[in-house]
Structure 1
């Protein structure tokens, strides 16, 4: 199930990139994410992060791997371990007044029930996912537009 949301942030792309490329900042703007930290010293494609993710009333360990790393343009991750498979991509585009940030997630099923829900209520679930992504981007925007820019 794929969903996308976008927002404009009143900051240059280098500020936005510095914040979102530090995956340890995810806990501040991604709903359900906590205790996220880098595993090892690697940065860029192949780097791994682990943390906790809460959804559906339970918290599970999650391991993420960076799949795309194009500074100030694109950042991709996928789940390696966790309660459900997903791939995500955050893209940045300069605008006359800041940076357009687009977040796309492609979430897989965590079991039969979710598969049935995706099949029966796909459009509704996609809208719900897009709303959640939009809320996360609003939090990201608010965080980045605060003065000073968070590290």
Structure 2
């Protein structure tokens, strides 16, 4: 059963600051619960083709994933997809100016395999709750940083 989660949240920080934080995937463990590590694996300037590995845990299982950036519009949009994972996903993060701050929209699409596919209905509920809470955590983190 495929999963699609959309998040739309206002963050009271400048768009360039929010996008810089969101597009640096090594920040993911700071605001995404269940994310253990995230390491950029490609050299050179960040953009389409950049890669990273992450280690997360879900349902008491470790999830090792490799990602590749497939769309990048500096300051506005980043999209990446798994190249290897037991929980394949594609996500898009878009940051737009909104009422003196930033509007962050995220779309996460995935389709579990193996062990996670067996638990698909339960996993879908867990993923939806977790992602919503993650973006609330991101909002709190960024809005409470010193200027």
Normalised TM-score (structure 2): 0.87
| Selected match of 1:139 from 137, 140, 143 | 137
Q: CA deviation at 1:72?
A: 2.0
- Equivalent in 10, 14, 22 of residue 24 of structure 2: 22
Following TM superposition, the consecutive aligned residue runs of length 4 or more in structure 1 with deviations greater than 6 angstroms are none
CA distance in 1, matches of 2:60, 2:8: 27
Q: Which residue of 2 is the match for residue 72 of structure 1? A: 75
Unpaired stretches in structure 1, ≥5 consecutive residues? none
Structure 2 counterpart of 1:60, from 47, 58, 63 = 63
**Residue 110 of structure 1: which of 109, 113, 125 is its match?**
113
Number of aligned pairs?
Answer: 144
User: How many Å apart are 1:31 and its aligned residue?
Assistant: 2.2
Distance 2:10 2:144 in 1: 14
Structure 1 residue matching 2:87: 3-state secondary structure:
coil
Q: Distance in 2 between matches of 1:23 and 1:113?
A: 24
| Structure 1 residue matching 2:47: 3-state secondary structure | coil
What is the rounded CA distance, in whole Å, between the counterparts of 1:146 and 1:25 in structure 2?
16
Q: CA deviation at 1:132?
A: 2.1
Q: Secondary structure at the match of 2:93?
A: strand
For structure 2, which runs of at least 5 residues remain unmatched after alignment?
Answer: none
RMSD: 2.1
